[in-house]
């Protein structure tokens, strides 16, 4: 374990208040800034995804090979030596030391191994990816709220044809709109979670 992990309080005995430290270790949760720093780089996101299901130390070369396969859009077996070496060097010299500083992994440069820590669970965030014709969910809900407000205003003023149905029917309709949207959002968000499938969120159709 590097000194960086100890900097975050991992591996340090907790004080029991009786003059003797206990054997329990204290793991501080990641701050929002640390989460942003880890996820701001695509290669680090790929590395997090590759480590998500691991519970012990992993060879750096294996992680580099998988990350390279995702980056170059090929199977692991098709990754060339140059592609693997390029990713390996970047992970070894830059990305894993940074992630070790944040306490997300324990990186042993000498042994060439990396091990996820409990703090890696904090990186299970949703990626609000906007591609092509898609719009952010925040904008979608804002528009949906506008439609609902306009609809209820029309019902309240008795505007035709909205006055034909009873108020309770329109209330049920508005509730159903938000309910269906919430279910769709939940399904979409789960699919965008890092570690939720075999591929990182950016590579899913």
Q: How does pLDDT run across 137-192, given as a tens digit for each residue? A: 677 788 889 898 898 888 888 888 887 888 888 888 888 988 888 887 766 665 55
How many CB atoms neighbour CB 136 within 10 A?
Answer: 11
What's residue 82's pLDDT?
95
pTM equals: 0.56
Average pLDDT, the chain: 77
**Structural domain containing residue 144:** 137-203
For the chain, the first-to-last Cα distance in angstroms comes to 38
Domain boundary among 61, 90, 123: 123
Give me the mean pLDDT over the 69-76 stretch: 92
In the block, which residue shows the tokens 């809900």?
Answer: 141
What's residue 88's pLDDT?
97
| Contacts for 101 with CB less than 8 Å, ≥ 6 apart | 4, 7
Count structural domains, the chain: 2
| CA dihedral (43, 47, 50, 52) positive or negative | negative
Task: Report the distance separating Cα 66 and Cα 122, nearest Å.
Answer: 22
The verdict on 85 and 167 lying in the same domain is: no
């Amino acid at each position: 374990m590097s000194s960086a992990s100890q900097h975050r309080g991992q591996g340090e005995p907790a004080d029991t208040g009786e003059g003797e430290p206990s054997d329990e270790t204290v793991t501080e949760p990641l701050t929002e800034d640390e989460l942003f720093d880890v996820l701001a780089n695509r290669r680090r996101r790929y590395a997090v995804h590759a480590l998500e299901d691991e519970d012990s130390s992993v060879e750096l070369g294996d992680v580099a090979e998988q990350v390279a396969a995702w980056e170059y859009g090929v199977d692991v077996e098709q990754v060339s030596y140059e592609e693997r070496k390029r990713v390996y060097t970047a992970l070894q010299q830059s990305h894993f030391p940074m992630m070790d500083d944040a306490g997300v992994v324990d990186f042993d440069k000498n042994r060439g191994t990396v091990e996820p820590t409990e703090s890696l669970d904090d990186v299970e965030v949703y990626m609000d990816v906007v591609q092509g014709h898609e719009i952010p969910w925040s904008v979608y809900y804002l528009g949906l709220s506008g439609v609902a407000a306009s609809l209820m205003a029309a019902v309240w003023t008795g505007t035709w044809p909205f006055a034909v149905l009873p108020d309770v029917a329109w209330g049920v309709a508005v509730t159903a709109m938000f309910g269906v949207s919430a279910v769709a959002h939940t399904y979409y968000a789960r699919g965008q979670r890092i570690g939720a499938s075999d591929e990182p969120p950016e590579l899913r159709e």
